[in-house]
Amino acid sequence: MKFKWITWATMLCSFVPCLWAVELPTSARSETAIAQVEPALKKALAAKGLKYGAPIFIRIFKTPGVLELWLESASGEFKHFKSYDICDFSGDLGPKVKEGDYQSPEGFYFVNAGRLNPWSQFHLSFNLGYPNRYDRYHGRTGSALMVHGNCVSIGCYAMTDSYINEIYALAVAALRAGQPYFRVHAFPFELENDALAKYRDNQWYEFWQNLKQGYDYFNEHKRPPNVEVSNGIYTFGA
């Protein structure tokens, strides 16, 4: 398999330490996909007052099966750009607990350049980084949990190839422009009070209450929170 790495230099030296280079994996497939969607994306973003290459943020909702893509605006708040229907995900509502349970994960994850896979057997993909610190604290196991194309899932969030092309292009553009990583928040559904109250007897109710704190933080501030883990609980701050 032929592949190469491109070094994208950025120097942000006015008020912050310099970021000299970000290494991004690339392939002929990813370069072709990005070239195909980039002009239309730039036009659609400009229509919403957004810039190609701005930092991105992703939210996933198993129900109704939607991936939301947000970009940072000139004001510093994140603005919704587009929602993509998820083609397929595995399992039911609730987190992934162990390798082989065929559950798609729920929780707070991040993706850096090293988690991009432009050579994926599922067209293009990026690794969510499961298990994260919370998952490991609770003894959860699993690996290679992705957002990818090809519309098939055994624990991942699968998109159509046309959708992953756009999502992947926006991710690459943001990382190339200097965003060190982008956050992906995966939820069972929109964690509004009325919706969550219907699941009061569900085994994951307390877990979802904890996720709701991060969900509410973003809805209030329009910026994804800094997520930490303390005594096995997610905590959130600026």
Residue of 18, 87, 138, 148 marked active site: 148
In 3D, which of 167, 155, 154, 64 has the Cα closest to residue 106? 155
Contact 228, 221 (CB under 8 A): no
**Taking the CB of residue 205, how many other CB atoms lie within 10 A of it?**
12
The reply to whether 156 belongs to the active site is: yes
In 3D, which of 166, 107, 169, 157 has the Cα closest to residue 132? 107
The reply to whether 123 belongs to the active site is: no
CA distance 230 to 134: 9
Q: Which active-site residues does the annotation give?
A: 148, 156
